[in-house]
């Protein structure tokens, strides 16, 4: 195998979706070899890696085979069993972010609890074990409330907002096959996010604050720099760095924030991996989030996080029943297309994204939205 022959550092990536693919592409640039683990031989990342183990994420033999072939094991999604990663660590393999970090972040209740203990601001929340529990909590808090799956929610699946008792009962019926978290609805004026890298050696690098817009609770657009006061931006970056420290995180983390009218910032959640709100960095920052991630987990110096253009924006391309990519049409626009090569389109599935830079965030956003519209999206 090439990696062993040339003595290249090697990363093992568990999960072959778009985040695994973009991490693998960054690894190639840095001369880091990649071994991928995913059950689907046709997954997005499979197309860009020469070495792949085709097996379920929880297959102990496959995990061990991966760990023995690489210098660092990492993962592109947080729905792994931390016990299994911990067992690899106990055998002396390096897993980043660590099994501990994953265990505390993957459960939104543990995550919130740790952030609160560290004195960081989060929405009012409670774990709820029964509808009676939930109703009692709502009597104290009042409507509206947000009900969330504690684990395995993503892209807004597993999040319901209830304004009435009937909606609360519906939400409970839809989600209660899983442990749930209830939280106060935050009347935010903006949703913001910050990517933070923290290296093996404790070096920390925070990216500019972005503004995200969700449609149906799914990230639709990102624009940067966020149109907020400089002091608030500084507070967001400080909070994001403190949140990563609180979990002793090594790697790259997406920190989602709510900004309220009174200037108060609350932490919504952390993702222990590259994040959709950081995709803009591929075409707008001196070091993109995927390269930074690899630098962090290999203990290499972190790169500069600043924008190299005044502003940038990103729009997601979500799947429909069938999807034909009109490359000629998109490439007529001043945008960078990142297509994930997923084996099939499904409604709502993230199939790609487009980035643009501009003189200000509005101008950059107008560019990506024009190209998005040309694809037939409204
Ligand atoms: N407490 C809250 N108050 C107001 N809105 C909320 C609250 N919690 C979640 N939301 C809305 O729902 C969206 C999705 O929620 P959350 O980020 O918790 O779920 P998720 O499925 O893990 O998200 P993703 O994977 O898209 O980041 C948020 O971006 C926000 O728009
Ligand atoms: Mg979220």
Domains in the chain: boundaries: 2-95, 124-184, 188-374
Inform me whether the pLDDT recorded for 4 exceeds 60. Answer: no
Calculate mean pLDDT across residues 165-193. 96
- Helices (DSSP H) in the chain: which residue ranges? 2-6, 18-30, 60-69, 82-90, 99-106, 108-117, 131-141, 165-175, 230-246, 281-284, 289-297, 327-330, 361-374
Q: In this structure, which residue's CA is closest to atom 22 in ligand 1?
A: 154
What's the CATH number of domain 188-374, 3.40.50.1970, 3.30.70.270, 3.30.470.20, 3.30.70.520?
Answer: 3.30.470.20
Dihedral through CA 12, CA 201, CA 275, CA 163, nearest 10? 120
Residue 67 pLDDT exceeds 60: yes
Is 124-184 assigned to CATH 3.30.1490.20? Answer: yes
Q: What is the CB-side half-sphere exposure of residue 117 using CA atoms within 13 A? A: 10
Task: Give the three-class secondary structure for 240.
Answer: helix
Ligand 1 atom having least distance to the Cα of 187 = 4
Span from the CA of 276 to the centroid of ligand 2 (angstroms): 10
**86 confidence band (pLDDT: 50, 70, 90):** very high
What mean pLDDT is predicted for residues 236-254? 98
Residues with CB under 6 A from ligand 1: 123, 146, 148, 153-156, 158-159, 183, 185-186, 191, 214, 217-219, 256, 268-269
As a whole number of angstroms, the distance between CA 27 and CA 293 comes to 10
185 CA closest ligand 1 atom index: 3
Q: Ligand 1: which atom is nearest the Cα of residue 158?
A: 21
* 152 CA → ligand 2 middle, Å: 12
Question: Is the pLDDT reported for residue 73 higher than 70?
Answer: yes
Percentage of residues of the chain with pLDDT beyond 70: 98
Query: Residue 172 Cα, ligand 1 centroid: separation in angstroms?
Result: 17
pLDDT, residue 131, reads 95
For 263-283, b/e burial (b = at least 16 CB within 10 A) is eebbbbbbbbbbbbbbbbbbb
Is 316's pLDDT higher than 60?
yes
Ligand located closest to 191 CA: 1
Give the ligand with the smallest distance to the CA of 258.
1
Residue identifier of the C-alpha nearest atom 8 of ligand 1: 146
Domain 2-95 has CATH 3.90.1150.10: no
Q: What mean pLDDT, rounded, does the chain reach? A: 95
For residue 296, report the distance from its CA to the centre of ligand 2, in Å.
Answer: 23
* Alpha carbon distance 367, 357 (integer Å): 8
Q: What is the pLDDT of residues 187-232, one digit of tens each?
A: 999 999 999 999 999 999 999 999 999 998 899 999 999 999 999 9
pLDDT of residue 2: 41
| Ligand 1 center–CA 148 separation, angstroms | 9
């Amino acid at each position: 195998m090439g990696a062993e022959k040339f003595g290249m550092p090697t990363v093992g990536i568990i999960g072959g979706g778009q985040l695994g693919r973009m991490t693998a592409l960054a690894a190639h640039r840095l001369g880091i070899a990649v071994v991928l683990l995913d059950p689907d031989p046709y997954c997005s990342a499979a197309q860009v890696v020469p070495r792949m183990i085709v097996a379920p994420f929880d297959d102990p033999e496959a995990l061990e085979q991966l760990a023995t072939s690489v210098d660092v094991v990492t993962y592109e999604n947080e729905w792994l069993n931390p016990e299994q990663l911990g067992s690899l660590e106990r055998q002396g393999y390096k897993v980043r972010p660590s099994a501990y970090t994953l265990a505390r972040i993957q459960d939104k209740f543990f995550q919130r609890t740790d952030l609160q203990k560290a004195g960081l601001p989060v929405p009012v929340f409670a774990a709820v074990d029964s509808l009676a529990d939930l109703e009692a909590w709502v009597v104290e808090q009042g409507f509206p409330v947000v009900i969330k799956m504690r684990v395995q929610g993503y892209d807004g699946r597993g999040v319901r907002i209830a304004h009435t008792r009937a909606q609360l009962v519906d939400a409970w019926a839809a989600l209660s096959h899983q442990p749930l978290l209830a939280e106060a609805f935050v009347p935010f004026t903006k949703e913001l996010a910050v990517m933070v890298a923290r290296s093996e050696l404790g070096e920390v690098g925070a990216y500019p604050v972005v503004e995200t817009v969700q449609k149906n609770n799914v990230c639709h657009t990102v624009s940067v720099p966020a149109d907020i006061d400089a002091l608030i931006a500084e507070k967001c970056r400080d909070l994001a760095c403190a949140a990563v420290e609180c979990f002793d995180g090594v790697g790259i983390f997406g920190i989602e924030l709510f900004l309220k009218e009174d200037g108060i910032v609350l932490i919504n959640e952390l993702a222990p991996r590259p994040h959709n709100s950081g995709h803009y960095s591929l075409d707008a920052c001196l070091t993109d989030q995927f390269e930074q991630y690899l630098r962090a987990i290999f203990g290499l110096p972190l790169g500069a996080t600043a924008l190299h253009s005044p502003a940038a924006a990103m729009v997601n391309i979500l799947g429909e029943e069938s999807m034909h990519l009109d490359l000629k049409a998109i490439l007529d626009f001043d945008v960078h297309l990142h297509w994930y090569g997923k084996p099939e389109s499904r409604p709502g599935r993230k199939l790609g994204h487009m980035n643009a830079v501009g003189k200000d965030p509005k101008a950059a956003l107008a560019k990506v939205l024009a190209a998005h519209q040309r694809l037939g999206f409204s």
